[in-house]
Homo-oligomer: A and B are copies of this chain.
Amino acid sequence: MQNAVILINADKGQVKAVAERLAEVEGISEVYSTCGRYDLVAIARTCDFESLAELVTGRLNAVEGIRDTETLNAMQVHSRHDLETMFSLGW
């Protein structure tokens, strides 16, 4: 599984709508509406690097109301949870 953390600022008055749109995008696992420097943080979880690249350079750009994104690609994951199994089971 390939993970990325995407830091997002939305157009004014669009934070909630962008969060809902992003949560529908294939490959986006979760969207957090956050306090502080960024409006939203989305977690992308895809099967491999090519799928992540398609998401970030393609589907993400098609979401309306996004002002700025900065993708932090995960090189490694440390967790006591078995994230791969959990998310692939698609709860």
Q: Which of A1-33 contact B (CB under 8 A)?
A: 2-5, 12-13, 15-16, 19-20, 22-24, 29-33
- Supposing A57-B16, A91-B85 touch, asked if A2 and B49 sit within 8 A by C-beta, the answer is yes
CB pair A30–B77 under 8 Å, yes or no, is yes
B33, B43, B79, B91: the one within 8 Å of A82 (CB): B91
By a CB distance below 8 angstroms, the chain B residues around A35 are 4, 35-36, 56, 70-73, 75
In the complex the two chains form, is A3's CB within 8 Å of B32's CB? yes
B61 contacts A13, C-beta separation under 8 Å: yes
Chain A interface (Cβ < 8 Å from any Cβ of B):
2-5, 12-13, 15-16, 19-20, 22-24, 29-38, 41, 43, 49, 52-53, 56-58, 61-62, 66-67, 70-83, 85-87, 90-91
